[in-house]
Structure formats: structure tokens, C-alpha cells
Structure 1
Amino acid sequence: MLVPGLIDCHAHIAFPQPGKTPRSARLFEAAAVLRTLLGRGVTTVRDAWGADAGFRLTLEQGWITGPDLLLSLRQLCTTGGIGDTWNPRTGAVDALGDPALPEPVFDGPDAARAAVRRMVRAGADWIKLGASGAMSQGDRVHDPLVTAAELHAVVDEAGRYGGRGGSPTSRRTRRRARIPLRSRSSPPPARNGRPAAVSCPPASPMCPEPSPRPPVVRWRW
């Protein structure tokens, strides 16, 4: 039986492991992960934070085997959001600190546009924005962490580069800014017994029916 290749819309193929694992270890781990994904029928992966453009180049050159990669590089956020590595004990210690993974933290609309440009310059296929809190923050998970002006700036600037834009954000934040983001990392709650529409490619298991708008990213088959 012949079936279409699967698309993983949210993966972290090269996220640093906790502990004292050397940074280079994640490169070899990612190679094994990519090979396994391809062997299980996944032909496209949208990496949502952690992999740089070198992974895509490595696959294109045939040095390792794996699915096509669509990269966000980092997750944009405002100060204190998901992606801000500061903590009260050590300060700003970035486990992902690397010239190929630019600084994702911004404050204000102009800085938001600059953050998008940094990601695009470093090879991002799409822009990931953490516009609300994390599940680890408990009740703060639904708190809007960006202003309407900042969110508009990110979406507008991403649109200048081919419509790259996505957010795992809460519906409250989206309503507040009145911006219909074209991609989500997880499906929204069901409405009247059926999933609410999300904007992603029809081939994705997140979509119960074809999206009324084109996908955020450029899919390669």
C-alpha cells in the first residue's frame, strides 16, 4: 500500500539535553532522530526551536538521511516569555547560545521586527512566536505576553518574507490583537463537538479539512 509522506508540524530534533551533555552531542543525536523519522514515514518536519540551518544543509547535501526540514531556529518572545533563558540564580545563561541561533528576545514593535529579520537572515523558514505563557507557569499559560502592536509587527514583518509566521499562543492573545495567525503548534479546543479550524496544510493530522488559506510554509514534495 502506498501512502503519502507524513508531516510532523511540531518537533524539536536538536534541543539540548538537560545535564552536562556536551553541546556537540545533540548533533549526533539529531542525525539518529532524523533517520528514525524518515524510516517511519515522516518526510517533512517543521522544527519548532533548536535546529539551525546547518541541519537543513546537511540533509540537502546527503551527508545524513532524514525528512525535509522547515526551521524556526528559535522561539521569539518578549522579556520573561518562553525563550527568555534568564533565571534568578544564574542570570541569562543561554544553553542554545550559538551564532547560527540568533537572540530571540525583543521588547517593542521595532525590536520585534528586528528579531524576525535576525531569524530570516540566519535561514529560518518560518517564525515561531511565544505570545503567551508556558504550561510550566501554571495559571500564566494564558497570559498575553506581547502587546497588540508587537504581535502586529511580528506578523507583518514575517509577511514581508513569504508569510512565515506561527504561534503556540492562546486564543485570548489572538483575540486581543485581532490577528488571524496562519499557523498553530497545537489544535485549538473543539467547538460544538468538532475541532475548530486551524490553518495548516491539508496533509497534516491537525487539519480535519482543507484550510481556507494557503499554508505558512513552502512545502516540498
Structure 2
Amino acid sequence: MEIDMTPFYLTFKLAVITTLILTIIGIPVAYFIAYSEFRFKPAVEALIALPLVLPPSVLGFYLLLIFSKNGFLGSFWEKLFGHQLAFHFDGLVIASVIFSFPFMVHPLISGFRSIKKDLIEAAYTLGKSKLETVLKIILPNMKPAIITGITLSFAHTVGEFGVVLMIGGSIEGETKVVSIAIYDAVEKLDYSTAHIYAAILFGFSFFVLLVVYMFNKKFEVSR
């Protein structure tokens, strides 16, 4: 039986791009939340955590309205790039960034808050700027949080279904990632193909979590 590897390629591509974007925007956002004090901070934290409790179909529905030709972002995107976001790979990326955002930001916030204030103050005393302190002191000392955020974001993107289905549907070579391929195979009663896709995802998810726990344990022992 021949297995189409295109869904795996699209899934990996989506996960890599999403994780890269989340890492770039997640670190400054997490730093701001961890160290700043302002009145509406709880509201911002609640907004970031919303995808954790909101049903994917609800989030996907509203994103679909925004991404469609009649939506403000979809119409703008179509004028700019010549295609709408809904049912396109670009739409999957943006939706995945939104849906996986808390999986990146929450570990980073915990990492920033775990750094002792004495260490930061010592860096300032030695004449290091805030940027130098973040890059040379804080980030190196919160490697487990960074690795956890990156790994969980990647793995969560790989396993996305509800939001991906609502935004992208099942378009061959464009939006049909592995989770959608499993759904399509089950609908066709092609359980053999579904088993193969599901087993690969199951093994990958277990391996990713195992690596995270092993790395964190090794880091704790070395400290």
C-alpha cells in the first residue's frame, strides 16, 4: 500500500514556520508579561490563554470569517498577495500561530519568572544593558523553558485538527495536513491508511515529550 507523504511534508512545513514565528514574537511578549506591571495585565494574560479553553471550532469559525474574502484581513491579504487566507496554506500558518500561542508563551513566562532578581541586578551592577542581560544572562539560564515552548508549539501544531479543518478544509497539496488526512481516511473507511498516519503521529508525539522531559531532567541535574 502506497502512502502519500505530502500531508507529512505540509505538516512539518506548517509546524516549522509556526514555531519560528512563535519563538520570535513569544520571547518579547513573555518578557513583557513576566516583568511589567500594568492595570490590564490580567486581561492580556486571559486573552493569550483563551485558545487553551476555547473549542477549536469556535476559534476556527471566527478566524474563517476574518480570513474570508469579505473579512477585513482576508480582503486585505487578497489585495496584497492575490489570494485569500481561507483555504490557503498562509491562512493555516496565521491560525496556527494564534492557536498555539499559549503553548509558547506560558513556558517562557514561567522561565522568565524563575530567574532570580539578584542575578539580574548583578548584571546591571556590572554595567550590562537590559538587552545584554536578556541575551547573555536571562535566556541562557532558562533553556528548559525555551526548549519546552519550542517543542510544545511544534508538537501542538503537528496535532492540530479543528482549527485547521475550519480554516483550510482538505485541499490536496495545500491544506491537507496529516490530521486531516487521518480524518479523510476514516471517512472513507480506509482504516489501514488511518492507522499508519495515526501511528506515526503517536510515535512522534511521544518522542517529542520524552526529549523534553529528558532535557529538563538533565538540565536540573547539571545546575
Q: Normalised by the size of structure 1, how large is the TM-score?
A: 0.24
Larger Rg: 2
Which protein has greater RCO, CA pairs closer than 8 Å, 6+ apart?
A: 2
Q: Normalised by the size of structure 2, how large is the TM-score?
A: 0.24
